[in-house]
């Protein structure tokens, strides 16, 4: 074989190898691309990477919207801004009575022994100042007002009297008593930054959406045993403070709890109250219960025994009873059980003007 022919064959051999190598590499690249394009798991990696910035922006927007909303929540007037020393002393005494009611009116009260040992603060958190903690933000601005429960225009004295007789299962005070005047002065003062006739932001109790089913006390018991017994005990009787004069955590049922005439006996009130306040540490920004959890716990708590009250004079116009008022008679066809546990939407639809 001549050297020239040998060189040609060597060149052709190298060329064939290069073509084979190129073809192999091209096949591997195309196969890999096809696998990455159509394989669900691999595709999801790219999708999740693409979504991460979007989700981050969504979270930032939600946080900003929440902060903007909460910035508008009612805040009480600062008692330290009061320059009238007499008024300041009265308002401070009123706050003390709200925060530690039992020390003054409980079973061992220093002023009178007329209540069950709970404090107003047990239901009106932070002495009635916590957002969505059953606060007093709209009390000064909205009272006196017509209340369907009594069928009368009520002033603040009547409203406090109701709490003493229902939530504290006790007796009221005379209108001109020092302690009654002090509580009224406190509640009025801290809410004077809300114009008359206007509702404060995050005042009272948040209204939860109705469930599309009845609230379930059996589920509620399981949740209660998991989330509530540390403070309120398995017996529901709460935790007495070291001074033995008041409750650190109040009883949720039993002889020392609120009676059946109290507002918190209605499921919507109790569920809305605990949603953003319970367990300890929960807030509007950081709730620890889902809506369903709150409704079910409420159903369990409200099936437990508690003091009764004669409220036969309540709701003179029965058509104005709330959908979750659990005692008849009613102006509709629904049972007491459904009025207590729901579902409430059908009842609401039967009263379009309520």
pLDDT value at 1 more than 60: no
pLDDT value at 8 more than 70: no
pLDDT value at 261 more than 80: yes
Q: What is the rounded CA–CA span in Å between residue 173 and residue 105?
A: 10
Sign of the CA dihedral running 299, 303, 309, 312: positive
DSSP for 86-109, please give it: HHHHHHHHHHHHHHTHHHHHSTT-
Residues 99-119 pLDDT 10s: 999 999 999 999 999 999 999
Residue-level pLDDT at 38: 52
DSSP for 270-304, please give it: HHHHHHTT-STT--SSS--S-HHHHHHHHHHHTTS
Q: What is the mean pLDDT of the chain?
A: 91
Residue-level pLDDT at 39: 54
Residue-level pLDDT at 108: 95
Residue-level pLDDT at 354: 57
CB 180 within 8 A of CB 111: no
Residue-level pLDDT at 352: 78
Q: What is the rounded CA–CA span in Å between residue 330 and residue 190?
A: 38
CA 253 to chain centre: 20
Residues 170-215 pLDDT 10s: 999 999 999 999 999 999 999 999 999 999 999 999 999 999 999 9
Q: What is the rounded CA–CA span in Å between residue 191 and residue 75?
A: 8
pTM of the model as a whole: 0.83
The share of the chain scoring above pLDDT 70, in percent, equals 86
Residue-level pLDDT at 329: 96
Banded pLDDT at 24 (limits 50, 70, 90):
confident
Q: What is the rounded CA–CA span in Å between residue 91 and residue 79?
A: 8
Tokens linked to 96? 């003390």
Banded pLDDT at 63 (limits 50, 70, 90):
confident
Picking from 334, 337, 335, the residue whose alpha carbon sits closest to that of residue 349 is 334
Match 């609401």 to its residue by tokens: 348
């Amino acid at each position: 074989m001549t050297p020239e022919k040998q060189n040609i064959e060597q060149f052709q051999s190298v060329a064939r190898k290069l073509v084979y190598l190129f073809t192999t590499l091209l096949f591997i690249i195309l196969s890999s691309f096809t696998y990455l394009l159509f394989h669900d798991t691999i595709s999801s990696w790219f999708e999740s990477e693409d979504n991460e910035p979007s989700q981050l922006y969504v979270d930032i927007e939600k946080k900003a919207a929440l902060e903007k909303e909460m910035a508008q929540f009612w805040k009480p007037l600062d008692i330290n801004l009061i320059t009238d020393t007499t008024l300041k002393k009265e308002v401070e005494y009123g706050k003390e009575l709200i925060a530690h009611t039992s020390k003054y009116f409980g079973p061992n009260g220093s002023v009178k022994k007329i209540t069950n040992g709970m404090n107003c603060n047990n239901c009106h958190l932070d002495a009635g100042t916590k957002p969505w903690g059953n606060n007093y933000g709209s009390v000064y601005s909205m009272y006196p007002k017509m209340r369907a429960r009594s069928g009368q225009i009520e002033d603040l004295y009547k409203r406090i009297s109701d709490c003493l007789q229902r939530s504290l299962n006790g007796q009221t005070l005379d209108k001109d008593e020092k302690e009654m005047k002090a509580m009224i002065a406190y509640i009025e003062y801290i809410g004077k930054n809300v114009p008359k006739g206007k509702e404060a932001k995050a005042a009272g109790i948040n209204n939860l959406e109705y469930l599309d089913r009845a609230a379930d006390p059996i589920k509620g018991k399981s949740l209660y045993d998991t989330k509530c017994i540390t403070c309120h005990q398995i017996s529901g009787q709460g935790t007495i403070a070291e001074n033995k004069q008041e409750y650190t955590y109040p009883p949720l049922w039993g002889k020392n709890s609120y009676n059946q005439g109290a507002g918190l006996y209605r499921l919507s009130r109790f569920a809305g109250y605990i949603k953003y306040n319970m367990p300890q540490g929960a807030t509007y920004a950081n709730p620890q219960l889902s809506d369903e959890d709150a409704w079910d716990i409420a159903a369990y708590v409200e099936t437990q025994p508690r003091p009764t009250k004669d409220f036969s004079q309540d709701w003179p116009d029965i058509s104005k009873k709330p959908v979750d008022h659990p005692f008849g008679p009613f102006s509709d066809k629904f049972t007491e059980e459904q009025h207590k546990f729901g579902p409430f939407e059908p009842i609401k639809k039967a009263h379009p003007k309520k």
